[in-house]
Amino acid sequence: MPRMTEPRRKRGTERTSNRGPAAIPQLPLRRVTNPYPPMAMLSADQIEAIHQASMHILENFGIEVMSPRALSLFESAGAAVDHASANVRIDRGMIEDVLKTTRSNYTLTPRNPAYTVHLGGNTINFTLVAGPPNVHDMERGRRAGNLRDYSDLVRLAQHFNCIHMLGNQVCAPVELPANSRHLDTYLANLTLTDKSFHVSAIGRGRALDGIEMMAISRGLTLDQMRDDPGITTIISVNSPRRFDEMMAEGLMTMAEFGQSVAVTPFTLMGAMSPVTLAGALAQQNAEALFGVVLTQLVRPGAPVMYGAFTSNVDMKSGAPAFGTPENTKANIASGQLARRYGLPYRTTPGSASNAADAQGAYETLMALWGAVLGHGNLVYHAAGWQEGGLTASFEKFIIDVEMIQHMMEFLRPIEVNEAELAVEALGAVPTGGHFFGEPHTLERYATAFYQPMLSNWQNYEAWQEAGGLDTTARATRLWKKALEDYVEPVMDIAVREALEAYVAKRKEAIGQGEP
Amino acid sequence: MPRMTEPRRKRGTERTSNRGPAAIPQLPLRRVTNPYPPMAMLSADQIEAIHQASMHILENFGIEVMSPRALSLFESAGAAVDHASANVRIDRGMIEDVLKTTRSNYTLTPRNPAYTVHLGGNTINFTLVAGPPNVHDMERGRRAGNLRDYSDLVRLAQHFNCIHMLGNQVCAPVELPANSRHLDTYLANLTLTDKSFHVSAIGRGRALDGIEMMAISRGLTLDQMRDDPGITTIISVNSPRRFDEMMAEGLMTMAEFGQSVAVTPFTLMGAMSPVTLAGALAQQNAEALFGVVLTQLVRPGAPVMYGAFTSNVDMKSGAPAFGTPENTKANIASGQLARRYGLPYRTTPGSASNAADAQGAYETLMALWGAVLGHGNLVYHAAGWQEGGLTASFEKFIIDVEMIQHMMEFLRPIEVNEAELAVEALGAVPTGGHFFGEPHTLERYATAFYQPMLSNWQNYEAWQEAGGLDTTARATRLWKKALEDYVEPVMDIAVREALEAYVAKRKEAIGQGEP
């Protein structure tokens, strides 16, 4: 039997069972599927027109790829490459051919197979926010990202079952050296959680470190991982029409080792894209497909997603906006495009609100509905996103988890059968009576309805007596409680030592100038 | 030329043009249509099973109707009436026959025909909250409903174009005598706004007063109004399976005079209905159809809507909950049922939150999505609903208007054509460049995106510098500004005098004991 580390407990509290009476109620771990057909916002003709426009872009305008290795790959595959400008033009025939090797479904398996992420079909996965430089909570205010907050936020993601995987760096731990902090965050991801995560694919080194450390945690070789991926990354396109060297190298490294990539153009309408949705979608489609093609040139069959991030900017200030009506529509239409090519679909709900308040809730929920109606498979940044992605918020995380759970329950179809139709009970209760005491009710009431953790359903007087806390204040209590209840997943001590040794070795190498 | 009253100005301010630079940005008056197909949450077989269960209820268990006049009407039409228990059983043949005279589309015309409400098809109308005993705003706190707040809330409904009509009494003006306050509120509705409204149909007198006063305001006779309805009412069924005398009389009066009725069972799952959605929907369907049948027995062709209010209660306290996943599903499934019978559909978004906060936003928006995906034609209580309907909130009104406007913009389909695809602009902007200065952008940027009134898109520092107000605090500023900008619609002074005379005459009669 392998040696195990003791589960580490926060703040000296006793372990609180997740099922104990004092625990925060939450939905069980569930593979979420959308039983309803995806929303057909665009007609087949409209989809085709957008496809044609994107083919025109790829055939005539091309994409700049700031990577000699990528340029060679494209050239060998028959693309028109201009080395002086690093411009690559690919035609629809090549695209069609190359897309044949993509997969419509695949899985990402972390060290705990219970948290395997299924990408494709009608499965939906919700992930932790990624990338903010700052963190915020109502007690300590706004501050630069740091490893302590980083660790607490991934603990929260571990604690809540509806968070299916982590993103890439829930906040930037800025006190750590920029060129090696990815190692610290990977180690935190792998030890404080046993869920899958997004690696940073800014260059080959960061991607490869993520792949190697996931392989160590699973007890696999890199070769074994190649056919059984465990992680993914987001490749952000430098829209319009540019893949920079670091992103191109990251993409190719992930594909080379059989790990997943979500190619996501940064198409903010009015800034990096046309102000029109059709134009932004055409651009997004061209850029996403170009990145998808590159993954397949590196390794046919490499797991890859169609990523979409199309939203608009505030035309008065140029500031990005999220959860807008335009963003919501883009989330739905992009799903139609992804499905046209048989690719799993990554999408995002967001908000520009500076606070975990009503705007934060309604903007996020607008875009979340778009993600769900568009059959997003990977709903990135689904919990904790604030300030247009500049801050990871503890309270917003809780509000988002509550909204995700609402959506998960919404996605459970209505059952219609004799027992559910309750005709006998309907005849037994007298006119003007009530159903509280009916056997049909008593048999089902404990589990009949979704029980929220954050919503307050007290009457006004009882709510006032209990302090009259608004949603945001209640969210503060909940994340603190969740951190108290958090249990670190058990890890074989040899695995932990191997991971720590890997990090130490790589930090030394990076210190000596290795990438 | 008729004599006109001067527009009345609030608080001595000069009239602020709605188009002036200082005005709150808002969407123009628009007939809102849903261009997307309604969501098919239930299969045709499931709809049929619910229909069959509701037929079983109507044929075997019956509905109690506490009105001798209604019992006679049912008896004459061939229903099985038990006079001792006031129980009425109707069979599917009779229902099918009677439903033939209902209308799938009709209009309600107020004194300003620009605000004509189209009910049916894919048109959506949003209405002011109705019925709360209390009002709340962040400056003055919670208080009992009163005519001053009543007036301010209907002024807000007049000011915002996305509110298509008023409900029945946005709050109860409790300082006025209960038996005549409907006259004061009708007068306020008709003078402070020129939109349509819901009358109180608790008994014949209140309904008839509303019909007569709307007729006066339009310069029509009751006979002319009969074929050109101007108002509606909600008939709340005393679920399970009971229509009380006042509601039955109100329903029959409205139908007699050709005015619209939305028959709305009060099916809170777990309390007045089974805990199962299928059972609650079967009950709702039976009760709604029963009321619809009664309208047609009074007057074939009388305008009538299928109303739905199915939500769940908190099984720990019995308190009603809204905006739950179950409520959202019910809003969609109920639309499928309404369409099965070719009836316009009334639905509701709601929230149990005690504050205009994140919960208020996410619960309301969950149910609002249900209302929209379910193709609700009349979205009742759409703005201002707080505390499960016990309070009309000024701040929540503003948050709701913002969410409604988001939805209205979401419902504008994506245009795909050469100009929108922007291929030329996509070729003109260099890789890594931006679209800010492109002619394609400059021609469109001013109107390209929805401009919110409440959402704050400033960066964190600018937001902090401006006071760091959260959404709720900003909503306070907005309702105050809207009341300052509000302009009372012009009314012919003779009409106003006629309305006032009607109110005076009726108050005297009611004082002398008339109903």
Q: Residue B18 pLDDT > 60, yes or no?
A: no
- Closest CB to B352 among A279, A355, A457: A457
- Closest CB to B450 among A39, A326, A456: A326
- Closest CB to B36 among A41, A413, A456: A41
Name the residue among A192, A233, A191 with its Cα closest to residue A216.
Answer: A191
- Closest CB to B272 among A315, A390, A435: A435
Rounded average pLDDT over A479-487: 98
Beta bridge partners of A33: A123
Give yes or no for a cis peptide into B240 (omega within 30° of 0): yes
Task: Identify the pLDDT of residue B338.
Answer: 98
Put simply, the answer to whether A422 touches B357 (Cβ < 8 Å) is: no
Q: What is the pLDDT of residues A123-158, one digit of tens each?
A: 999 999 999 999 999 999 999 999 999 999 999 999
> Taking the CB of residue A226, how many other CB atoms lie within 10 A of it?
17
Rounded average pLDDT over B438-445: 95
Query: Number of residue pairs across A and B with CB atoms under 8 Å?
Result: 381
Put simply, the answer to whether A355 touches B472 (Cβ < 8 Å) is: no
Q: What is the pLDDT of residues A29-45, one digit of tens each?
A: 999 999 999 999 999 99
Element (H, E) at A55: helix A44-56
Contacts of B359 in chain A (CB under 8 A): 361, 454-456, 470-471
Q: Residue A292 pLDDT > 90, yes or no?
A: yes
Put simply, the answer to whether B429 touches A326 (Cβ < 8 Å) is: no
Q: Residue B5 pLDDT > 90, yes or no?
A: no
Put simply, the answer to whether A142 touches B460 (Cβ < 8 Å) is: yes
| Pairing between β-strand A242-243 and β-strand A63-65 as defined by DSSP bridges | parallel
Q: What is the pLDDT of residues A235-279, one digit of tens each?
A: 999 999 999 999 999 999 999 999 999 999 999 999 999 999 999
* Residue type (1 letter), A79: A
Name the residue among B299, B223, B215, B291 with its Cα closest to residue B255.
Answer: B299
How far apart CA A447 and CA B279 sit, in angstroms, is: 16
Put simply, the answer to whether A57 touches B427 (Cβ < 8 Å) is: yes
What pTM was computed for the model? 0.96
How far apart CA B302 and CA B257 sit, in angstroms, is: 8
Q: What is the pLDDT of residues B151-188, one digit of tens each?
A: 999 999 999 999 999 999 999 999 999 999 999 999 99
Closest Cα of chain B to A226: distance in Å? 33
**Percentage of residues in chain A with pLDDT exceeding 70?**
96
Rounded average pLDDT over B275-300: 98
| Pairing between β-strand A134-137 and β-strand A141-144 as defined by DSSP bridges | antiparallel
Q: Residue B14 pLDDT > 50, yes or no?
A: no
Q: In B191-320, where do the E strands start and end?
A: 232-237, 242-243, 260-265, 268-269, 304-307, 311-312
How far apart CA B184 and CA A16 sit, in angstroms, is: 58
How far apart CA B359 and CA B410 sit, in angstroms, is: 22
Average pLDDT, chain A: 95
Put simply, the answer to whether B432 touches A279 (Cβ < 8 Å) is: no
Q: Residue A67 pLDDT > 90, yes or no?
A: yes
In chain A, what are the domains? 97-411 (3.20.20.480)
Contacts of B420 in chain A (CB under 8 A): 276-279
Closest Cα of chain B to A457: distance in Å? 6
Task: Identify the pLDDT of residue B22.
Answer: 79
Put simply, the answer to whether B460 touches A363 (Cβ < 8 Å) is: no
Q: What is the pLDDT of residues B178-229, one digit of tens each?
A: 999 999 999 999 999 999 999 999 999 999 999 999 999 999 999 999 999 9
Rounded average pLDDT over B11-26: 57
How far apart CA A336 and CA A495 sit, in angstroms, is: 42
Q: Residue A196 pLDDT > 60, yes or no?
A: yes
Contacts of B55 in chain A (CB under 8 A): none
Contacts of A335 in chain B (CB under 8 A): none
Q: What is the pLDDT of residues B79-88, one digit of tens each?
A: 999 999 999 9
Contacts of B282 in chain A (CB under 8 A): 421-423, 426
Rounded average pLDDT over B500-511: 97
Contacts of B363 in chain A (CB under 8 A): 455
